[in-house]
Structure 1
């Protein structure tokens, strides 16, 4: 079963890989185009399109594998995961496989001089003119919501810190309503703290547990969206701070991190990042 199939690309991959039957579940009007795409790829007898929300699907059989590209920026943006968990609980056979099966949310403190230059200090000299009165509105806009940008390892002031590890076989939709953590960043170099960056990795594995992967790790694939890896569609989520600070190597910076899903229908989180005083 492909949950949120979109154009059906994962459904096609599954069919080409030898699946006997693939249910492509897609609620949008894109579902009307998947049969033609399946036919163009010679898998129309394998891929069955269900033009519906997965919550409304009725099947006479359970499935061996559920695959879904549900991940959003900072992993949980758009909050498609509850629909996948619904499918897991309703349609996955006992011992069946989820792809991806696990994920990590990772963060680091960053110095982002080029971004600050392009978005804020730029106004100090615009073709020889002083537009600095626009700096404060620009700062307010920059810090109002997360920015989706491509960073690199040179931007990191602290070592990457795991904010949370999530097992998609066991996590519940209720647990997704409020995600919080208190990671501690340890700075590895001097720098000016501009923001906190978030990214994720997810694991695609034929094994349900990490213990099982020890003997078969070569079959495990990890999608890594970190600044240390090649840029992806997800880039990195950069949360700019209203106040900058000079950091020195070896500093320990505790962070209070919170994501609250205010309205499940809206599928959006309110993201809160706060460094305690001191």
Structure 2
């Protein structure tokens, strides 16, 4: 690849050959690593979870899955873990983590394996298995980065029976809404001067979830039709209970009449298994102490068909997920 640059000695435009890793370096620079590293609430609650395990007085061997820059591994070592094994599949980040461990004096107590956690077989013997798993493998949709398989297979190949996990559990929260503002992201509005084509009006939308900073949208532009409720719960400490495909039916009561058009979604994590150290991505107008962050947002799911609802009506919502995503439909309603 050639880059157009200004020669500082002549002031003229010229060309130079780019480093073979130019694209990769640019991609890393534009990624959300910096935003994650400076997410103070996230970091503090992960560290609190790690410290709570050492406080129990048992020997701790931490397996850090997707270590990235190595921050959580160093937190584990600082919290008193006897051993730490860090796994990172992305070569540039594993090189970065190795340098970070060395510069901070942790190279002797943290073992780095440059591999995907689900591919590690020979590197971890039964004696090398950990009794604590820590991982930050979440996105706006919680499971979009493969968190379900990461935790399920970690119990099978990397962890001892009874292994603790940080975070220990997660919950998916949804709230049914009516919002002309949000619907304009989904399909073009029709006016007296502009009629959208039928193909546009009937388009099911993109396969990818719409992530959005709901805290930045005035509450009056999104009308809640019912109180938020839990669509799914995941127990990361119980490997066999983690399933990649699931459908559940949730019934909620409409608190106001309107048109059920979409669901807004966020999640929370139980960082220490007690329910007292929770990390949430709820919007600020639902959770006053919620922290603003850009690497995790909230999500919007549009129904295949909008459903008229009446105050007091019982609505049955079909909630489904596969290994990486969620989808929803108002299957039926009952008076």
Could you tell me which residue of structure 2 aligns to residue 264 of structure 1? Answer: none
Counterpart in the other structure of 1:19: 81
1:248 correspondence with 2:310: yes
What residue number does 1:53 align with?
Answer: 116
What is the match of residue 297 of structure 2? Answer: 235
Please, which runs of 5 or more residues in structure 1 have no aligned partner?
A: 208-212, 262-267
Q: Could you tell me how far 1:120 is from its partner in structure 2? A: 4.2
Report if aligned partners of 2:268, 2:279 keep a CA contact under 8 Å in 1: yes
1: CA distance, partners of 2:269 / 2:82: 26
Out of 195, 209, 221, the residue aligned to residue 277 of structure 2 is: 221
The 3-state SS of whatever aligns with 1:52 is coil
Cα shift at 1:196: 1.6
Identify which of 28, 44, 54 aligns with 2:90: 28
Residue 82 (structure 1) shift: 1.4
The alpha-carbon deviation at position 78 of structure 1 amounts to 2.9
| 2:214 counterpart residue number | 151
TM-score between both structures, scaled by the size of structure 2: 0.66
RMSD: 2.9
Aligned to 2:176: 109
Alpha-carbon shift at residue 187 of structure 1 (Å): 2.0
How far is 1:111 from its partner? 2.2
- Residues 196 and 239, structure 1, Cα contact 8 Å, conserved in 2: yes
- Superposition pairs of residues 182-221 of structure 1, within 5 angstroms: 182-205=249-272, 207=273, 213=274, 220-221=276-277
TM-score between the two structures when normalised by the length of structure 1: 0.78
Change (3 A) 1:137 1:16: farther
1-side partners of 2:187 and 2:245: how far apart?
A: 33
**Alpha-carbon deviation of 1:186?**
1.8
Is the alpha carbon distance of 1:142 and 1:131 closer, same or farther for their aligned partners in structure 2, counting shifts above 3 Å? farther
Is residue 307–residue 330 contact of structure 2 (8 Å, CA) maintained in 1? no
Q: Give the deviation of 1:50 after TM superposition.
A: 0.5
User: Does the Cα contact within 8 Å between 1:146 and 1:240 map onto a contact in 2?
Assistant: no
1:39 aligns with 2:102: yes
**Is 1:82 aligned to 2:145, yes or no?**
no
Which secondary structure does the structure 1 equivalent of 2:74 belong to? helix
Report what 2:231 is aligned to: 163
1:142 aligns with 2:205: yes
Matched residue count: 255
Q: Say if 2:77 is the partner of 1:10.
A: no
* C-alpha contact (below 8 Å) 1:123/1:135 kept by paired residues: no
Q: Which moved more, 1:194-203 or 1:240-249?
A: 240-249
Q: Over residues 48-97 of structure 1, what are the superposed CA-to-partner deviations in whole Å (9 max), with x where a residue is unaligned?
A: 21001223242342323110012233322232321222222333344432
Residue from 251, 274, 278 that aligns with 2:329: 274
Gaps of 5+ in 2: 1-62
Structure with greater contact order relative to length (CA < 8 Å, sep ≥ 6)? 1
Residue 243 of structure 2 is matched in structure 1 by 176
CA distance in 1, matches of 2:78, 2:156: 26
Secondary structure at the aligned position of 2:261 is classed as strand
SS at match of 1:6: coil
Q: Residue 165 and residue 80 in structure 1: after superposition, are their counterparts in 2 closer, same or farther (change >3 A)?
A: closer
Provide the C-alpha distance between the structure 1 equivalents of 2:322 and 2:136, rounded to a whole number of angstroms.
22
Determine the C-alpha separation between the residues in 1 that align with 2:68 and 2:137: 10
For the residue of structure 2 that corresponds to 1:166, the secondary structure is strand
Work out the CA distance in 2 between the residues paired with 1:187 and 1:234: 28
